[in-house]
Structure 1
Amino acid sequence: MTGPDIRIGDWTFLPPLGQLRDERRGRAVTLTPRAARLLACLAAQPDVVLGQAELAAACGVDPAGHALTQAVSELRQALRDGREDAPCYIQTIPKRGYRLSVLADVGMPGAVAVQHLGARWLLFGVLSACFIAVLAMLWPLHMANASAPRSLALPNARRIAVVFELVADERLETRLVGLGAFAAHTIATYTPYEVVQMPNRGRASARPNSGRRLVLRVVEVGRQPYLHARLSHRLREQVLLDKHYPLQLQAATMTALSADLLCALHQPLPARLPGADALDDLSATEQFFSGHYYLYRADAASLREAVNLLETVRERYPTRPEVLAMLAISLLALSDLAGGEQAEAGGETVQWRARADAAMSTLVGLSASPYFSHPLIGEAQALYSLSRGRPRQGQEMIEKVLRTRETWRAQVIHGKLHEISGELDLAADAYARAWLLRPEPTTLAWIRQLAFATDLAAIAPGLDVPSARGA
């Protein structure tokens, strides 16, 4: 019997000598001729089941007798060499035959060893090659996105970014922000999509990982300001809506905008269109959205303006949940951002917090209101829970809000709730997300001062840099 050397586990089988050698242990076992022929036949096709007739013919024994079984037993005993922990190289496959269950290396005389590859190893090699090929194709995409935050890398088909192209005219910007917030509320409430609100003041803002993008800007048509709404599908490079609306906070404009958005997104129209339930007093509507605008600006002076406007609207509409929610958010934020030096009893801070308590108390009693689904309500409840030291309740509220509409304020509150719970990595992620959505100094002020003092240098050092502070 001739042929190359065959490695089986720790053993090396030398067919010409009919011998097994273990160089590491210095052992050599001489096989019987039929056991040697059996091993040579099995090793020629490792991991392949060979029938008894084929093996009996290779061994030169009668397939009808017990000679083949005895040869298998001899071979197993030799490979085990008295070791209880030795692997079972020869496997019995009931009603089919036997197979050598290891990969055998065949050493060519005077040459480098060559492997006999079984079918599964060949499959493994093919899959590995495919994986490497796919990795090579995706690597340029990975490098292109390497500098982007993880959450912004790839488009999310279920997410719509609502981008406001802000302007210098405060009156026009107030209406733009108001209609933009209304559009975001319509999408978040009446469609299955998530919403990301991203104001943009002429700077290169981060691109959200959204499959669709609604850009709202003020344009002049016949010397009159109009709202230009353009909804596009980023994945398909398709424009879904491109239309102009009078830049007025009136029910007609709001219902037209909401109907067009729902149709463009292939959503059924509700029995009562969003916007039809707008405040019926035009002056109150203007004041409400002006309050929304000043809350968006978020500095202490603007928050004072928001509180004054919303208190006026509340007198006219004392049971509208969205008015109470916005008022509570403004009061709580104002008490933290402007009240640091007025914490003594009777100071403005105490008054603001007492008024926030009253607004939230009224709000809780309006849970049956048809307007209670407004995202501002969940935001107000989460911030109130944060201010009262109830992080678990606040987390439930803010995560519910973020599942439908993401704003920079919601992310700041989210980060604060993570921070108070000791989840500093998650807090840093939320703060970074808030900054990406609204890269303004007031965003950092909210992160530092809302509810409690946050050390940005310790938690999110990337935000505590001159470029961020002076943005």
Structure 2
Amino acid sequence: MSESVIEIHDWTLKVDENLLCRPDREVYLEPRLVNLLRFLARHAGTVFGRDCLIDEVWDGAEVTDQVVTQSIFELRKLLKDGRPDATDYIVTVPKRGYKLVAPVRTVPPLSQGAADDGAPAAALPPMQAPSACAEPAPPGPAPFPAGPLTRAISARAKDPRSRARMFGFDLFVVLVLIAMVSLLSYQGASPRVRAMLDPHLLVFRFHAGMDGNNENVRLADGITRALMGEVAAATALRVQYGATNPTGGILPGKELSVRVSRQPRGTYLDLEYRNLNTNRVLFSQQYQLSRHKVHQVLQASSQDLLRALDRPEVVPGMGWPTDDASLMAMMEARYYINSRDPVALRRGIVLLDQALASQPDQPLLLAERYLAGEALATLAGKSESDRLLETGSRLAVLVRGEGPLPARVWEALTLQAILGGQPQQAGYLLARAASRGRSVLYYILQGKLAELDGRPEAAGDAYSQAFLMEATEQTYLLCQQLGFYSNMETLTPALFNGLGQSKVKLF
């Protein structure tokens, strides 16, 4: 019996194609996952320990227990497919191992004789030859004609007046049919599209798992923003922070889900990259995360994601802090900085100051600290003039001797030049930032420079682009107040009217 196609409850595993599918859903698996799922399906209901699975599935290769655990986790996640009410497929038997509990059926190969195994066809009555002594049948009504409907009137069609009436009826039917076909063709040529998926727009969504750990929320948000920066710098994709779910218009064609959750064996980072146009998972990976290897995990996850995006030659992590504690503090600080609450902003600033205590001359940390101070001054009205001046001056001195730098550094220097009344220098610095990817802050700064240059249309377009990239209250307020006040009602009336004149309202 062939085992190239196996039905596992509502899924079908096509071993030869590395494909797991069910109605309206297809997922391509790595060979290790295919081999593991096929083995468990062949022995459904049997418990296997990790050592046994390594011997049977990995053929005794040097594989750690963590690889088996991760593979089981990935299979469970794929089979559940985000359905909270889905049945259990693979269960853990405490202190023994794993077993597949879903119903399994092997699909036999299709062959020429397969039809013989089915139900026999209904027998047809034998044809009888006409009897030689049979009397001819008396003439009766004309049989129902096999021609078009317009001929099937009656035998009275032989009458010339009836033929004329029939011709008129035929003509009427033909005209009605032509009208119906024309109407359907017109409607088919003008489809109504409520929403379109943009294949060049990638939305990033973060989740904090089910444990409700606030640290995991902060870390997931910071990692999400770090990955956004790497993708924006290395690819032509437009990135969007998934804080909202618009219901119409142009929607993202791709999605990256970022999840940080605490499990019995530690804290894990899960990435899942999905093409929403085809509803296929193109990349899914799990990484064990700890405060002592944040840099290593971010480097590996960024590299794997860029490889899935066909940019394997790009080396991520340019300009990141090398100290794990500093990098962890920066990740968490980004969560607080992207808020208009003064208490949260100050908490983010405290974390950045702690990171700078370990690496005082790290350009990215200085840039984040400078921008956080300006955000506090803009959104909360609490300026740190002396500290900001010192931070900005140190950053400017360091950049003179540095090589390639992250976009965030150039954006901080651009804002410093705008506030210093140097629009020409700010334009040069913003162009340097664009070479490393375009962020929400990039478009806000672009709008400010367009205003200073007397181009209100370009400014309104830039502010709209910033808001569409991250539709939050803070984005709108930064467009309005960062550096100097911008009249959003004049610059982008559609955005102003859509949000409300007195209070920002998200989608």
TM bin (shorter chain): 0.5 to 0.7
SS in 2 for 1:318: coil
1:226 aligns with 2:260: no
Is the contact made by 1:381 and 1:394 (CA closer than 8 Å) also made in structure 2?
yes
Is the contact made by 1:335 and 1:353 (CA closer than 8 Å) also made in structure 2?
no
Q: Distance in 2 between matches of 1:318 and 1:207?
A: 46
Is the contact made by 2:197 and 2:277 (CA closer than 8 Å) also made in structure 1?
no
Is the contact made by 1:196 and 1:405 (CA closer than 8 Å) also made in structure 2?
no
SS in 2 for 1:405: coil
Structure 1 letter corresponding to 2:411: E
State the superposition RMSD in angstroms.
Answer: 3.5
Query: Where does 1:35-434 land on structure 2 (aligned, <5 Å)?
Result: 139-140=190-191, 144=194, 155-157=198-200, 160-165=202-207, 169-189=213-233, 191-200=234-243, 203-204=245-246, 212-219=254-261, 221-222=263-264, 225-248=267-290, 250-269=294-313, 274=316, 279-339=321-381, 348-368=383-403, 372-402=404-434, 405-434=437-466
1:353-375 deviation line (CA, Å, top 9, x unaligned): 4234323323433423xxx4312
1:40-72 deviation line (CA, Å, top 9, x unaligned): xxxxxxxxxxxxxxxxxxxxxxxxxxxxxxxxx
SS in 2 for 1:463: helix
1:276-333 deviation line (CA, Å, top 9, x unaligned): 9854543322212122222222544333333332222223212322111111212233
Q: Distance in 2 between matches of 1:135 and 1:402?
A: 46
Is the contact made by 2:194 and 2:249 (CA closer than 8 Å) also made in structure 1?
no
Q: Distance in 2 between matches of 1:177 and 1:389?
A: 34
Give the unaligned 5+ runs of structure 1. 1-133, 146-152, 341-347
Q: Could you say which structure has the larger radius of gyration?
A: 1
- TM superposition shift of 1:268: 3.0
Q: Distance in 1 between matches of 2:308 and 2:400?
A: 36
Structure 1 letter corresponding to 2:460: A
User: TM (normalized to structure 1)?
Assistant: 0.57
Q: Distance in 2 between matches of 1:353 and 1:290?
A: 21
Cα pair distance change 1:466/1:281, threshold 3 Å: same
Structure 2 letter corresponding to 1:198: Y
1:466 aligns with 2:500: yes
Q: Percent identity?
A: 22
Is the contact made by 1:162 and 1:195 (CA closer than 8 Å) also made in structure 2?
no
- TM superposition shift of 1:376: 0.7
SS in 1 for 2:494: coil
Q: Distance in 2 between matches of 1:286 and 1:435?
A: 27
Q: Distance in 2 between matches of 1:205 and 1:164?
A: 19
Q: Distance in 2 between matches of 1:205 and 1:406?
A: 25
Give the unaligned 5+ runs of structure 2. 1-184
Structure 2 letter corresponding to 1:297: S
- TM superposition shift of 1:207: 7.8
Cα pair distance change 1:452/1:183, threshold 3 Å: same
1:441 aligns with 2:485: no
- TM superposition shift of 1:450: 0.7
Cα pair distance change 1:333/1:312, threshold 3 Å: same
Cα pair distance change 1:210/1:398, threshold 3 Å: farther
- TM superposition shift of 1:198: 0.6
Match of 2:116 in 1: none
Is the contact made by 1:231 and 1:239 (CA closer than 8 Å) also made in structure 2?
yes
User: TM (normalized to structure 2)?
Assistant: 0.54
Q: Distance in 1 between matches of 2:390 and 2:247?
A: 36
